[in-house]
Amino acid sequence: MRLTVNDVTIGYTDEGRGVPLLFVHGFPLSRGAWQKQIDALRSSYRVIAPDLRGFGESEARTGPVTMAQYTDDLHALLQQLKSGPVVLIGHSMGGYVSFAFLRQYPKMVHGLVLVGTKAAKDTPEAAAGRRATAEKVQANGIEVVIEAMAPKMLAADNHDRAMAEQVRGLMTPSKPAGVIGALLGMAERPDVTAELACISVPTLVITGADDTLIPSRESEKLAQSIPGSQLNIVPHAGHLVAFEQADKFNHVLNEWLDRAAFPVLVSA
């Protein structure tokens, strides 16, 4: 399905009924990264999974895309879908977007799930690296990003070639302008560490034990700083934990959703 929000056509999935769960994918992926969660949860929840602008089936525009801009797109999409407040589930860059969403639209968030992400902003060196990568994408296309990131999405001891190819397939629809915009936007995103103590909605933090892109210690910091949050470190999983260890991830998520009593909430 596709809708136009903020002058950009967004591809999205909207399946099931009940409490709405909003899944926000990471970089440089697409909503297909959540397909195993969509399949598992749509019988009990309303599952909404968009492609962020410039990724998957969504259109791109030139220039940096801030986390606030992604947030405005998501909010506009939810308004059109008449979802009501959601449980917000963000992976990696999707986590950065989730922090911005919670800041800008707090009444739209019933609960928060942070997957393989962190609160700190880029170091000057990391930000410079993103800008340099953006220049390479401008010159040579998105393959430079796919070649660099695809091998790091799964645990190092995962030799499942079919899964590795699936991961690459989640990246290939990305548009060069979308990848460039995200890189430049992430490079300038703010540090939200000081905001963590103010998060008052139920929060689950999940990470892969073998994540080398955003190590599990970053998730430990999140859980220690967010009042009442739950931390779960999934063994034998890399950065793309929800895809690589879907059964374990879904079990943890389902149990947390049940304990948090979100099923008693009624979506609009």
Over residues 100-117, the pLDDT tens digits come to 999 999 999 999 999 999
Residues of the chain with pLDDT under 50: 263-268
Dump pLDDT digits (tens) for 20-74.
Answer: 999 999 999 999 999 999 999 999 999 999 999 999 999 999 999 999 999 999 9
**Can you tell me the distance from the alpha carbon of 207 to that of 199, in angstroms, rounded to the nearest whole number?**
19
**Can you tell me the distance from the alpha carbon of 24 to that of 94, in angstroms, rounded to the nearest whole number?**
5
- β-pairing verdict for 20-24 and 86-91: parallel
**Can you tell me the distance from the alpha carbon of 137 to that of 151, in angstroms, rounded to the nearest whole number?**
18
SS (H, E, C) the chain: CEEEECCEEEEEEEECCCCEEEEECCCCCCHHHHHHHHHHHCCCCEEEEECCCCCCCCCCCCCCCCHHHHHHHHHHHHHHHCCCCEEEEEECHHHHHHHHHHHHCHHHEEEEEEECCCCCCCCHHHHHHHHHHHHHHHHHCCHHHHHHHHHHCCCCCCCCHHHHHHHHHHHCCCCHHHHHHHHHHHHCCCCCHHHHHHCCCCEEEEEECCCCCCCHHHHHHHHHHCCCCEEEEECCCCCCHHHHCHHHHHHHHHHHHHHCCHHHCCCC
- β-pairing verdict for 86-91 and 230-234: unpaired
